[in-house]
């Protein structure tokens, strides 16, 4: 018995080289060398330091996957190459590393397109074809370079859910998503998910709370990204810019004089300057979008599956129109709405490839509030939290482009007795409302400054008083002691 077991192990351990390198389960209709077109991506990154924004930040690296979708066009995830300083691509079975660069990146849908400096060695490689959305319970294969090895890996999974859900890379965006019962591990990100030899998605995130659960970016999102960049730039998603509330409750439907037919959602908020501003208003009932009935959960039926009503908007671009049917104060309306982007929404998204903006003045460090800063500082002040939460839905951005916050104080005689004011937002400087960081810098560095700068903070027990005549000497001293090369950075 032992002799037979030893013989079996020997046969497994000493397979011929060709058998060791062969990749099983080649997708139907695809030549085996298609796997050459799945590349390993090595990324050296530099992550900005929002705690001490004048510092260069920390360095790190990671591994991801990409695949060929056109001549010198490698598709991958945005999070694989975000904040990258150097990118190297490796072909399966080859030791050669090819320098690469990011051509386009879309953090809101976690996709990026790369190119290599010299495409010569890839000229005859097969190109992946992008197909449609896989059906529930159908089987797919995930190809990539998961953590734990440098060789290509192929795993199988079954499509278990098609949903409209959060994309973790930006923390602020939701799109169509497909769940499969195969783990998506670090390194798999950006790899093709194939069915019948064609790409039906891009692997991009897993679920820590469950085993063998992964998520892929479906082809409608991929196709939209590739179409968006056809003009040479990425223009981001458009937004309907409204909030809705489901109408399940029978009592609520009776109060709104609606039949119990499971159709319609309540409009609860309309973002100022958004696509629907001046058209919809809180209290309206939205019934259909582009002729698709909206059920009381806010879903519509597309391609045989129920998805969030925003999926209609997801597939459109700036300047496109969408037809809304809604009930307002007892009157029916059919209205074309021209869609546009909502850049102010980026307040709630993690930012990449950007240097932190800041001002250091008399040891006081001012920074504009965003999710990067919020995640770093964990602000507890109720006013800062309110300004952050209401920035978009209540239109605070129309009055204040930036919410400027006093984030830290580098100790110096000029700012003694001010340490208890960190973490508060700036309201005014010398009686002038602060609307953005550049304006704050101009007020603090005016050509003819007042004798004292008076800085009022939201929730502050008293104003901060800075003697202007002592600032130049203090700034020089603070720069030297705290090794601050530049006292400000006003650009991303």
Q: Can you point out the beta strands (E) in 329-423? A: 331-338, 340-341, 358-361, 364-368, 404-409
Task: Output DSSP code: residue 307.
Answer: E
User: Please, which residues have CB within 8 angstroms of residue 369's CB and are 6 or more apart in sequence?
Assistant: 347, 384, 387, 388, 391, 402, 403, 404, 405, 425
How far CA 210 is from CA of 183, 206, 214, in Å, comes to 9, 9, 9
Task: Output DSSP code: residue 172.
Answer: S
Based on the residue annotation, tell me whether 79 is a catalytic residue of this protein: yes
Q: DSSP for 278-291?
A: TTB-TT-EEEEETT
The residue annotated as part of the active site, out of 37, 82, 107, 110, is: 110
Burial string for 226-245 (b: 16+ CB within 10 Å, else e) reads bebbeeeebebbbbbbbebe
Based on the residue annotation, tell me whether 110 is a catalytic residue of this protein: yes
The residue annotated as part of the active site, out of 43, 79, 84, 228, is: 79
The residue annotated as part of the active site, out of 37, 189, 275, 296, is: 189
In 282-436, where does DSSP find H-type helix? 310-314, 371-377, 382-390
Total length of the chain: 492
Burial string for 31-55 (b: 16+ CB within 10 Å, else e) reads eeebbbbbbbbbbebeebebebbbe
Match 């029978």 to its residue by tokens: 250
Match 């030893």 to its residue by tokens: 6
Based on the residue annotation, tell me whether 189 is a catalytic residue of this protein: yes
- Hey, which residues are catalytic here? 79, 110, 189
């Amino acid at each position: 018995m032992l002799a037979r077991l030893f013989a079996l192990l020997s046969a497994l351990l000493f397979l011929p080289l060709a058998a060791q390198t062969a990749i099983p389960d080649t997708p139907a209709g695809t030549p085996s060398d298609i796997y050459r077109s799945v590349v390993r991506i090595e990324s050296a990154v530099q992550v900005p330091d929002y705690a001490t924004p004048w510092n260069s930040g920390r360095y790190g690296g990671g591994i991801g996957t990409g695949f060929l979708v056109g001549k010198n066009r490698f598709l991958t995830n945005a999070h694989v190459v975000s904040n990258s300083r150097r990118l190297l691509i490796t072909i399966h079975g080859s030791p050669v590393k090819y320098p690469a660069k990011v051509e386009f990146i879309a953090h809101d849908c976690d996709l990026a397109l790369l190119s290599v400096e010299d495409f010569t060695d890839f000229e005859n490689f097969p190109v992946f074809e992008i197909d449609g959305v896989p059906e529930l319970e159908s089987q797919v294969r995930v190809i990539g370079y998961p953590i734990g090895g440098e060789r290509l890996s192929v795993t199988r999974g079954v499509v278990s859910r098609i949903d409209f859900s959060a994309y973790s890379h930006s923390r602020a965006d939701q799109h169509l998503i497909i769940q499969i019962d195969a783990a998506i591990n670090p390194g798999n990100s950006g790899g093709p998910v194939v069915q019948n030899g064609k790409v039906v998605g891009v692997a991009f995130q897993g679920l820590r709370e469950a085993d063998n659960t992964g998520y892929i970016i479906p082809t409608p999102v991929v196709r939209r990204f590739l179409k968006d960049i056809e003009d040479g730039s990425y223009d981001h998603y458009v937004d309907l810019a409204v909030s809705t509330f489901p109408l399940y409750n029978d009592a609520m439907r009776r109060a709104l004089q609606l039949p119990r037919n499971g159709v319609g959602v309540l409009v609860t908020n309309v973002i100022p300057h958004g696509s629907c501003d001046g058209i919809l208003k809180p209290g309206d009932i939205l019934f259909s979008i582009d002729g698709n009935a909206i059920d009381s959960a806010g879903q519509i039926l597309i391609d045989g599956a129920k998805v969030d009503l925003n999926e209609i908007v997801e597939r459109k671009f700036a300047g496109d129109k969408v037809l809304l049917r809604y009930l307002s104060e007892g009157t029916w309306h059919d209205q074309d709405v021209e869609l546009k982007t909502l850049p102010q929404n980026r307040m709630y998204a993690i930012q990449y490839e950007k240097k932190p903006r800041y001002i250091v003045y008399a040891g006081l460090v001012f920074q504009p509030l965003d999710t990067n800063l919020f995640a770093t500082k964990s602000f507890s002040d109720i006013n800062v939290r309110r300004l952050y939460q209401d920035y978009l839905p209540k239109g605070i951005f129309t009055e204040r482009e930036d919410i400027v916050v006093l984030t830290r104080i580098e100790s110096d005689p000029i700012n003694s007795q001010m340490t208890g004011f960190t973490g508060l937002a700036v309201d005014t400087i010398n009686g002038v409302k602060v609307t953005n960081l550049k304006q704050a810098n101009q007020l603090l560095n005016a050509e003819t400054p007042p004798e004292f700068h008076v800085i009022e903070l939201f929730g502050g027990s008293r104003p901060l008083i800075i003697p202007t005549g002592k600032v130049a000497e203090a700034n020089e001293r603070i720069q030297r002691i705290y090794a601050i090369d530049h006292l400000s950075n006003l650009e991303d």
